[in-house]
Amino acid sequence: MGKQPYRAPKGGLVQRNRVIRFTFDGRSYPGHPGDTLASALLAHGHHMVARSFKYHRPRGILAAGSEDPAGLVTIGADAKRRDPNTRVAEQELYDGLVASSQNCWPSLLTDFGAINDAFARFMPAGFYYKTFKGPPGTWTGLFEPIIRAAAGMGRAPEPGDPDRYEAINRHCDVLVVGGGPAGLMAALAAGRSGARVILVEETARLGGSALARDPDRLAFDGTQPAQWVADIEKELATMPEVTVLPRTCAFGYYANNFVGLWEKVSDHLPEDKRLGHLPRQRLWRVRAREVVLATGALERPLVFHENDRPGVMLAGAVRTFLHRYGVMAGRRPAIFTNNDSGWVAAFDLARAGAEIAAIIDVRREMSPQHLAEAARLGIPIHASSTVVATAGYRRIRQVEVRPLHEDGTVGQGGSKIACDVLAVSGGWAPNVALFSQSRGKLAWDGELAAFRPGLSWQRERSAGAANGTFALADALAEGARAGVEAAAAAGFASGDVTVPEVEGAEPGQGRIKVMAELPSHLPAHRRRAWIDLQDDVTAKDLRLAVQEGYSAVEHAKRYTTTGMGTDQGKVVNLNAFAFLAAERGEDPVKVGTTTFRQPYKPVTFAALAGQHMGPHFLPRRTTPMHAWHRRHGAVFEPVGEWLRPRAYPREEEDFFAAVQREARTARSACGVLDASTLGKIDVKGPNAREFLNRVYTNAWMKLAPGMCRYGLMLGEDGMVMDDGVTACLADDHFHMTTTTGGAARVLAKLEDYLQTEWPELKVYLTSVTEQWAVASICGPKSPELVGEILDDFDPDPEKFPFMAWREATMAGIPVRVFRISFTGETSYEINIPATYGRWMWRTILEKGQKHGIAPYGTEAMHLLRAEKGFIIVGQDTDGTVTPHDLRMSWIVKKSGDFIGKRSLFRSDTARTDRRQLVGILTEDPELVLEEGSHIVARRNEPAPPVPMLGHVTSSYYSPNVGRSIALALVESGGTRIGDRLFATRGGLPTVPVRVTETDFLSLKENRQLPQAPREALNG
Amino acid sequence: MFVITCPYCGERDLSEFAYGGEAHIARPEWREDMSDAEWAEFLFMRTNPKGILAERWMHAAGCRRFFNMLRNTATDDILAVYRIGETPPKVEARLPATPSGEAPIGSGNDAVKIIQPGEGA
Amino acid sequence: MADETGGAPERRMPLFRRQAIEGAPGTLRLEELAFAAKFILRLDPQAGGEAFGAATGLDLPPAPLMSVVNGERAVLWLGPDEFLVLAPEGEAAGLADAVASGLKDVHHQFTEVSDYYTCIAVEGPKARKALMKLTTLDLHPRAFSVGTVAGSNFAQAQGWLWLEHEAEGAARFRLYVRWSMAEYLWGTLAEAGREWGLPEQEPVTGEPMLTESVTSRKA
Ligand SMILES: [Zn+2]
């Protein structure tokens, strides 16, 4: 396989003197650097590369770029790196590239799935909608598994991608999308103004359509195209503010000129040559002041019977393969066209040595110039004719041509013409995808029979073929003007840009004759004229959709799947819309177009995720004591972004046992909790007290310096939002604490009220959450320990009473000590500047050893507070709970306003039958309810809907109470103390429970714990 | 991803900001006799127009200031930003002809993606 | 648990395990700037700017996003009535006293946050590009000149970025971030600098996690 039989004798921008090897489906082939996989395969006469999605029909290479609908393969041998659904026309060749076909089994040539094609008439448009309706029946058992097994294209890579990806941000003055002639001029013009310019080119090299022309017949100011491009590239490289990004696709145009770029940094390199310090792909999130869209035009195929054979290619693609890649798509091409551009393709091929089998033109009148040139080259011409059938399996080998009558029917006779490729042209259409994504309005251009940009919505302009300006000289001028104007709009006066003189400009596509589906002698039901080559949608399918009432474009799309899939119908959509218009007998502008959605082409998830993976996925906030926790066996739980120790299981101790031990130790000896994550806000100003009065439900005017108070904060709707203890530092100075998860929310809310509702209050707020590392020490031994670790400090709970705070020093370091408790035990909360946190923690644990100290985690903390009946906002409340619902009416002051006060008197919040927080004790003391269990009135649940009285919010096994305990929100709970209710257990029989007060420790102390009745104990 | 002009810090990405709901809804002075309906009007009722909406934003990652914005909700166009306490400036916007219609251009809805014959440019 | 002792008071910044790291020569360098005095000043500049200047020798920045440097002290604009005041570590107490007495008749708040925030210095000719992998701020020299301060998000962490100095194309940024976010940002910045040869940083990760509810002994 050393030869490349279809490599043109000369030409192309490939490095002919270097041979590299690649494999396709296990077979090794030579190619050249500069090839794409498509051009390298075509150089071997290899057209069939894939199977279609639905019918598994052979598929070839239609286009030479990202618009190619069906030439999809999987790249890469490594399952963790492989890239399915890669367009062969886009994949650059590298030494050792491994490509394999997909959507076929066992092989591309022998594919059992092709049986679908024989059953095509049983899978009409809307097949899924017609089949998968009604109650689950046969289809769930019969069709669904088969279809699921057959569906999908390619296989996703396996987890463990070893490559790196990156997402970066960039601002620029002018973003130019498209590196063809118009885009190059725009970038040059804008670049010379000194503006920050980013020029994006989807392929590996700049030049665009200029590279798809015979270099001997086109010159810019006397320079060959490739050289002209290279000169511009060189000048752009000298401009420090210009960034040129090849291999980069602008895939999405979003609000305020936010454009997503997808750069393939190293997909074109052999895997062992990829640079480790660079990502494989990069996502550029670009914010541009102005955008120039120079995205070119796309050529449409023609819709005729059996138009889907491998070897049916767009005429423009055939030219690109010839001039850019030095590959002859065929030695005996036939041309089928409805405009002039098919003719120039024929002439190019003829000059390169091909024997043109025929030019078949559906038009009656053609350019005399072209007719003369065809005659000179001896090309047979079939004017006013159409192709009615094709033959060939792996590659087209024959077309049948018949005359086309004025009335739209085909005549008899005609001829069968042998060919090895059929170059088709249905005319060119501006590539308006990004323009439409930007929310600009499209205009219908009757002459082009296509949409072009109409009204802009964002700061953007289109230039060149993307704007419907196909003549090269005009496109260059328009590009230059767009660059100048865009730079000026961004505030940069441009230097002069001379538009080069073009020699060898082509006259363009001339008059185009659009026929939605070319006529055939065959009856309609036997015609298979493909509109969408990837999704296997034929003209017949669209006709059926219209007949069945799905004639609007968006309906027809979904009913038939036309324009779906990985190509989103780039080259086929216009044919579909033209067909719908013809079927409906309406103007195409009335029929419209489907939405051009982002992304323009599929972007890998890896690029979208960028570097935000693994350890960089989310911040993991940790306290100064974190390393200690880890070293001492803590298991952690996420609390918002924080990681907090949940318990410290010792060897041979499971999590449950560890929590029980920690909770026992905290009440019997001494426990210490890392409470550093609690939100802390410094509140200062002459109106600080008044402010606290308004944001908490209780009164703050009398809190003396040196003392603390617990507060409940409501939303304006009267619902509990946060809670915490606030200490009075001085008359005008307070230290507020919030819940760990509520810290940012509370600060924002308080700032909101100060800035927008009460600007007259002189109060400043500053977050001090992480200024302080906090150790909360509790238990009967805690006073002794605190006395030992603080300097000259009397911790006597009598003299340093509950809810007081003191300044102190610890080995000379200033600390604040708060006598506050979340456990009901004697507690001291020591706050030390965070940089000393690690040292403080270690000191406490060391000095506490002789007192039997144990660190406890959040689980024991939750358990300890539940034993005492203290709430956790967010666990026992859910945004629908008022202070009265918590039976904490004692904390709601009678006089004066506060946030949420009026809402407590709304008819709904004042109801007496609202759910209220109560204790729940199972009659079986060993049974621990699931949090979330429902509370119901009767042992046997009636048929649904079951009337719920409430639900369990917290539930634990308490070592200190010696039984299970739970908190629950229960309808009129306060009036049900002592009642017997039932708790559900997820499908198991309900269990009887007693409603109690919430302070279980006091119930135990006062011997008020309900005694288990005999029946519960007996099971 | 919008660009929002903070009245203090200038143009920044949307990701730096937090939304604060409709603007110019003053918290009523506390009155014992305020009816449930009056309170509900303040607490729950919002105009929710398809058109120009005055709304509050906070520059959460930046200067932490609240400010007001006029936004055309039919197109997501930001028409003006102004500080708390300032009166909203007069602005013009391309609005839907009917309350449930689409703005003539700039709507995310597909209904306006093509210039129809006879439609003025 | 007795494997370590408290010992004498010892301060640790959040990145104390991280050494300064550097990429290829003339590219990028990261370093934690430990132990400086940091205060948040809340003050109406109209009402107390002059008194503050008299007390500290620091004028308040005259416009948003600006900074004022005087010797080793600096004031960074965070908001219209909010500033970050920086000084050498040893000056913290003196500074607090000076402000307390100088502004005793003016409504203000001067809160020490030396331990709340740490500072990561990001410097070198590639510093702007490295940071733009994390933030949507426009860090081009035309948009972000020496002395500029901006609060923004850096990856998923909020912080304040200050371009302290720039000479011969080498920018010296200081990024002020919360203690708890420092490790995350260090790793993310190092990752952003891989392109220029910053060494890969071993992440702090792999803690045993338990998120489900456990109400009884293992079966
Ligand atoms: Zn701001």
Q: Which residue of C has its CA nearest to B60?
A: C152
Which residue in B27, B42, B84 has the most chain A C-beta atoms within 10 A of its own C-beta, making it the best mutation to test that interface? B27
pLDDT at A3: 86
Matching residue, tokens 């092989």: A107
- Residue C160 has phi, psi (to 5 degrees) of -120, 130
What is the H or E stretch that residue A59 is in? strand A58-59
Is it true that the peptide bond before C199 is cis, omega within 30 degrees of 0? no
Residue B91, in any domain of the structure: no
Cis check: omega of the bond before A945, within 30 degrees of 0: yes
Q: From residue A626, give the alpha-carbon distance in Å to each of A630, A789, A816, C11, C202.
A: 6, 21, 21, 15, 16
Ligand 1 centre to CA of B7 (Å) is 7
The two tokens of residue C165 are 């100095």
Give the integer Cα–Cα distance in Å for A846 and A806: 23
CATH code where residue B70 lies: 3.30.2270.10
Identity of the residue in C80, C137, C152 whose CB atom sits nearest the CB atom of B65: C80
Q: Distance (Å, rounded) from C-alpha A712 to C-alpha A737?
A: 11
Q: Which of A662, A677, A770, A790 to mutate to test the interface with C (most CBs of C within 10 A)?
A: A770
Inter-chain residue contact A620 with C157, CB threshold 8 Å: no
Helix (H) or strand (E) holding A234: helix A225-238
pLDDT digits (tens, 9 = 90+) for A883-919: 999 999 999 999 999 999 999 999 999 999 999 999 9
Lowest mean pLDDT among A491-500, A926-935, C71-80: A491-500
- A629 pLDDT above the threshold of 70: yes
The total of structural domains in chain A comes to: 3
DSSP code per residue over C131-197: HTTT--S--STTTS-TT-EEEEEETTEEEEEEEEEEETTEEEEEEEEEGGGHHHHHHHHHHHGGGGT
CB neighbours of B87 closer than 8 A, spacing ≥ 6? Answer: none
Q: Is A121 inside a domain boundary?
A: no
Q: Which one of B1, B36, B121 has the shortest CB-CB distance to A906?
A: B36
Instruction: Name chain A contacts of C187, Cβ cutoff 8 Å.
Output: 615-616
What residues contact A50, with CB distance under 8 A and at least 6 apart? A58, A59, A70, A71, A72, A73, A88, A101, A102, A103, A104, A108
> Measured between CA atoms, how close is A764 to chain C, in angstroms?
6
Q: Which of A94 and A942 is assigned the larger pLDDT? A: A94
Q: Considering Cα of A480, then A482, then A486, then A491, what sign does the dihedral take? A: positive
Domain-embedded: residue A189: yes
Chain B positions in Cβ-Cβ contact with residue A751 (cut-off 8 Å): 58, 64, 66
Q: What are the chain B neighbours of C79 within 8 Å (beta carbons)?
A: 8, 62-65
Name the residue facing B30 among A587, A589, A897 (closest C-beta).
Answer: A897
Taking the C-alpha atoms of residue A69 and residue A847, their distance in angstroms, rounded to an integer, is 73
Chain B residues with CB-CB distance to A897 below 8 A = 30
Is residue B93 included in any domain, yes or no?
no
C179 and C117 Cβ atoms separated by less than 8 Å: yes
Q: pLDDT tens-digit profile of A927-943? A: 999 999 999 999 987 78
Cβ A897–B58 below 8 Å, yes or no?
no
pLDDT mean over A362-382 = 95
Cβ atoms of C86 and C77 within 8 Å: the answer is no
Model pLDDT for residues A258-282, shown as the tens digit of each residue:
999 999 999 999 988 888 889 999 9
Q: Which residue of A has its CA nearest to B120?
A: A455
Contact criterion met (CB < 8 Å) for C218 and A654: yes
Do residue A635 and residue C208 have CB atoms under 8 angstroms apart? yes
pLDDT of residue A136: 64
CB pairs under 8 A between A and C: 198
b/e A232-257 (16+ beta carbons within 10 angstroms → b)? bbeebeebebbbbbbbbbbbbbbbbb
| For chain C, domain boundaries | 21-196
Domain end, chosen from A473, A503, A533, is at: A503
Asked which of A719, A746, A770 is the last residue of a domain, the reply is A770
- What's the CA gap between B25 and B42, in Å, rounded? 7
Q: What is the pTM of this model?
A: 0.95
Q: Which residues of B touch C (CB under 8 A)?
A: 8-10, 12-13, 15-16, 59-65
- How many interface pairs between B and C have CB atoms less than 8 angstroms apart? 41
Q: Which residue of C has its CA nearest to B65?
A: C79
* More confident site: A508 or A100: A100
Asked if the structure places residue B118 within a domain, the reply is: no
Whether A616 has its CB under 8 Å from any CB of chain C: the answer is yes
Is residue A481 domain-resident?
A: yes
- From chain A, pick out residues whose CB is under 8 angstroms from the CB of B112: 441
Task: Tell me the mean pLDDT in the region A122-128.
Answer: 75
The strand pairing partners of A951, in sequence order, are A934, A969
Nearest to A838 by CA among C15, C204, C7, C11: C11
Dist. CA C128 → ligand 1 center (Å): 21
Neighbouring-strand partners of residue C153: C158
Of A770, A796, A811, the residue at which a domain comes to its end is A770
**Average pLDDT, integer, range A656-680:** 97
How would residue C3 be classed by pLDDT, with cut points 50, 70 and 90?
A: very low
Helix (H, G, I), strand (E, B) or coil at A316: helix
The candidate with the shortest Cα–Cα distance to A476, out of A463, A467, A488, is A463
Give the gap in angstroms from C-alpha C70 to the nearest C-alpha of chain A: 25
A28 contacts: CB under 8 Å, gap ≥ 6: A1, A21, A22
For residue A1018, is pLDDT > 60?
no
Alpha-carbon gap, residue A844 to A858, rounded angstroms: 18
Distance of alpha carbon A835 from alpha carbon A814, whole angstroms: 12
Assess whether pLDDT exceeds 70 at residue A134.
no
Phi, psi torsion values for C86, nearest 5 degrees: -115, 145
Give the tokens for residue A803.
């809810």
Task: Kindly give the distance from the C-alpha atom of residue C105 to the centroid of ligand 1, in angstroms, as a whole number.
Answer: 28
User: Is the torsion defined by CA of A230, A235, A239, A242 positive or negative?
Assistant: negative
Residue B99: pLDDT band with limits 50, 70, 90: confident
The identity of residue C48, as a single letter, is G
ipTM of the complex: 0.97
Please tell me which of the candidates A442, A748, A907 has its beta carbon nearest to residue B18. Answer: A748
Taking only the tens place, the pLDDT of each residue in A559-607 is 999 998 888 999 989 899 999 999 999 988 889 888 899 999 999 999 9
- Tally of CA atoms within 13 A in the half-sphere of A263 that contains its CB: 24
> From ligand 1's centre to the CA of A834, what distance in Å?
28
On whether residue B70 sits in a domain, the answer given is yes
- What angle (nearest 5°) sits at the alpha carbon of residue C84, between those of residues C81 and C85? 115
Output the pLDDT for position A1: 43
Closest residue by Cα to residue A767 from A737, A739, A724 = A737
User: Strands, DSSP E only, in A338-449?
Assistant: 358-361, 381-383, 385-391, 398-403, 415-418, 421-425, 428-430, 441-445
Residue A1011: its pLDDT value, please?
A: 74
Residues of A in contact with C197 (CB under 8 A): 277
pLDDT of C5 reads: 60
Distances (CA, A) of A681 to A758, A772, B69: 18, 11, 28
Query: Does some domain include residue A72?
Result: no
Nearest CB neighbour to C195, from listed A277, A659, A686: A277
Q: Which chains touch A (3 or more CB pairs under 8 A)?
A: B, C
Give the neighbours of chain B: at least 3 Cβ pairs within 8 Å.
A, C
C21-196, which class in CATH?
A: alpha beta
pLDDT value of position A1012: 64
More reliable by pLDDT, A118 or A557: A557
User: Is A402 a member of any domain?
Assistant: no
User: What pLDDT was estimated at residue A139?
Assistant: 66
Coil, strand, or helix at residue A235? helix
Q: Residue A297 to residues A180, A424, A478, A823: CA-CA distances in angstroms? A: 11, 16, 15, 72
Distance from the alpha carbon of residue C65 to the mean position of ligand 1, in angstroms: 9
Q: Do B64 and C136 touch (CB under 8 A)?
A: no
Between the CA of residue A83 and those of A21, A73, A553, B2, C107, what are the distances in Å?
A: 19, 8, 32, 33, 63
With an 8 Å Cβ cutoff, are B110 and A554 in contact? yes
| Domain that includes residue A703, residue range | 679-770
| Residue C205 pLDDT | 87
A531/A538 Cα distance (integer angstroms): 5
Instruction: Give the residue-averaged pLDDT of C13-37.
Output: 96
Tell which of A460, A755, A895 to mutate to test the B interface (max B CBs under 10 Å).
A755
DSSP secondary structure, B48-99, as one string: --SSEEEEEEE-TTTT--EEEEEEETTTTEEEEEEETTSPPPP------SST
For B59, name the nearest residue in chain A, comparing CA atoms only. A748
Contact state of A685 with C194 under an 8 Å Cβ cutoff: no
Whether the CB-CB separation of A776 and A837 falls below 8 Å is answered with no
Ligand 1 geometric centre to CA of B11 (Å): 9
Domain extent, residue B12, equals 3-25+41-83
CA distance A397 to A390: 8
Nearest chain B alpha carbon to A909:
B36
User: A529: which DSSP letter?
Assistant: B
Q: Cα dihedral angle (A561, A562, A568, A574), rounded to 10 degrees?
A: -160
Mean per-residue pLDDT, A973-982: 96
Q: How far is B55 from chain A (nearest CA, A)?
A: 13
What does the mean pLDDT of chain A come to? 94
What is the average pLDDT across C90-100?
A: 96
**Region of poorest pLDDT, from A106-120, A233-247, A295-309, A471-485:** A106-120
Non-local CB neighbours of A390 within 8 Å, separated by 6+ positions: A305, A306, A307, A309, A312, A396, A398, A399, A400, A422
Of B14, B4, B109, B103, the residue nearest B51 (C-alpha): B103
